[in-house]
Amino acid sequence: MPSRKRDYISSISGWSVGNSERARKDAEAIQKVVRGARLPVTNNVERSYIPEAIIADTVAKYFLDHKFADFSIDRECPIQIGPNYYVTDIVLRDSEGSFLAIVECKSLRNANLGTQQLKSFLCATDTPYGIIASSINPDSWVFYENLRHNRFQQITRADFEEQVLANS
């Protein structure tokens, strides 16, 4: 291998240069990430990667439950913050069409980014509730109540459902 190519490779995978077994494992891990099938995590344990679209489908199904029959949902709903337009993943609307909850669907690795984004959306639209969904399990979602003036309280799923259903 020409030295120039070797230098390029070593700059990419410095810890595996000279160790073909480690390089092979690194390449396999990268392929898994690129394909979106799995993500490596600490202690060589692997966790399934769930694309945001699948999480959004799960949230939509959650809101299609009969207990939410009096509400409607919008997917990829545009909102305006100042002069800029953004798109929320899912909006739950009451019978009058007002926003009742905004849901941001994020992969687990982007959940923190999603929290800040969700709080911005809640403030800009004065929406009472928000959800960060980073899993297909509704019990693992994070539910927020918008207390106004950029203050939020994390609430349980049961509290969210009780308060939302009281608005129907």
Per-residue pLDDT for the chain (168 aa), expressed as one digit of tens each?
444 444 434 434 444 445 556 666 665 655 554 444 444 444 443 444 578 889 999 999 999 999 999 999 999 999 988 899 999 999 999 999 999 999 999 887 777 778 899 999 999 999 999 999 999 999 999 999 999 999 999 999 999 999 999 876
> How far apart (Å, rounded) are the C-alpha atoms in residues 98 and 91?
10
Indicate the SS3 state at residue 102: strand
- The reported pTM is 0.70
Q: Which two tokens stand for residue 87?
A: 């798109």
Annotate 135-154 with b (16+ C-beta within 10 A) or e (fewer). bbebeebbbbbbeeeeebee
Cβ burial, residue 89 (10 Å; 0-12/13-18/19+): buried
CA separation for the pair 58, 105 (Å, rounded): 10
Helix, strand or coil, per DSSP, at residue 32: helix
What distance in Å separates the CA atoms of residue 119 and residue 131, rounded to the nearest whole number? Answer: 10
What is the DSSP-derived secondary structure letter of residue 140? G
The two structure tokens encoding residue 105: 């669907």
Which domains are seen in the chain, by residue range? 3-48 (no CATH), 52-166 (3.90.1570.20)
